[in-house]
């Protein structure tokens, strides 16, 4: 096998590790397992959610925001679907990714529903032999909100 082919194969293994990292991030978000996310993020992570409306620097700042919005018991539950990854491994040890993302969120205390389609943009770095997220943020393509109060027959149960 020539060196170029070997590099492409090794890069593809890195891409698979990054996919697993992002899937784990999504699972922790959906289940409200905020503390578990610490292992996925770099200490200097930057997160920009909702087109930068919510922007946080550093792992403690990001986790504090997520504790207040997504933690188990918050009454907020989401179904997140992620796909169409475009992941590039860079020579400087970084990787970047773009993902198509949709989610449906229910906030039971307020009776609010949100559906959104977005593109996530991430930057990853390898630390201690593991890929971690150094930057994450998404740009919304579509977002719609409605109240369950507008739908008298709606019954929504949040686990």
| 66 located within any domain | yes
- Distance from C-alpha of 78 to C-alpha of 72, rounded to nearest angstrom: 11
| 85 located within any domain | yes
Give the highest mean pLDDT range of 54-58, 103-107, 109-113, 148-152: 54-58
98: domain CATH number is: 3.10.450.50
| 20 located within any domain | yes
pLDDT of residue 151: 75
Question: In this predicted model, what pLDDT tens digit does every residue of 42-61 receive, in sequence order?
Answer: 999 999 999 999 999 999 99
**Residues 100-121: what's their mean pLDDT?**
92
Of 35-39, 100-104, 110-114, 116-120, give the lowest mean pLDDT range: 110-114
pLDDT of residue 159: 57
pLDDT band at 156; cut points 50, 70, 90: low
Percent of the chain with pLDDT over 90: 73
| 26 located within any domain | yes
- Distance from C-alpha of 83 to C-alpha of 38, rounded to nearest angstrom: 23
pLDDT band at 158; cut points 50, 70, 90: low
- Average pLDDT over all residues of the chain: 92
| 156 located within any domain | no
Assign residue 64 a region (left: φ > 0; alpha: ψ between -120 and 50; beta: otherwise). Answer: alpha
Are 74 and 109 spatial neighbours (Cβ–Cβ below 8 Å)? no
For the cut 80, the answer to whether the pLDDT of residue 130 exceeds it is: yes
**Residues 79-101: what's their mean pLDDT?**
96
| 159 located within any domain | no
| 157 located within any domain | no
Pairing of strands 41-49, 112-127: unpaired
**Residues 101-128: what's their mean pLDDT?**
93
For residue 92, give its domain range: 3-150
Q: What is the DSSP string of the chain?
A: --HHHHHHHHHHHHHHHHHHHHHHHHHHHHHT-TGGGGGGEEEEEEEEETTTTEEEESHHHHHHHHHHHTSTTSSEEEEEEEEEEEEEE-TTSEEEEEEEEEEEEEETTTTEEEEEEEEEEEEEEEETTEEEEEEEEEEEEEEEEEEGGG-TT------
The structural domain count of the chain equals 1
| 80 located within any domain | yes
């Amino acid at each position: 096998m020539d060196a170029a082919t070997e590099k492409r194969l090794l890069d593809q293994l890195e891409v698979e590790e990054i996919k697993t990292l992002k899937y784990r991030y999504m699972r922790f978000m959906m289940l409200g397992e905020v503390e578990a996310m610490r292992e996925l993020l770099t200490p200097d992570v930057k997160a920009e959610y909702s087109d930068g409306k919510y922007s946080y620097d550093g792992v403690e700042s990001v986790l504090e925001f997520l504790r207040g919005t997504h933690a188990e018991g918050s009454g907020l539950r989401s179904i997140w679907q992620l796909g169409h990854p475009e992941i590039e491994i860079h020579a400087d040890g970084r990787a970047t990714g773009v993902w198509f993302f949709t989610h449906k969120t229910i906030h039971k205390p307020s009776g609010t529903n949100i559906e959104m389609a977005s593109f996530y943009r991430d930057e990853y770095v390898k630390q201690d032999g593991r890929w971690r997220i150094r930057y994450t943020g998404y740009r919304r393509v579509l977002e719609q909100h409605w109240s369950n109060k507008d739908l008298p027959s709606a019954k929504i149960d949040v686990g």
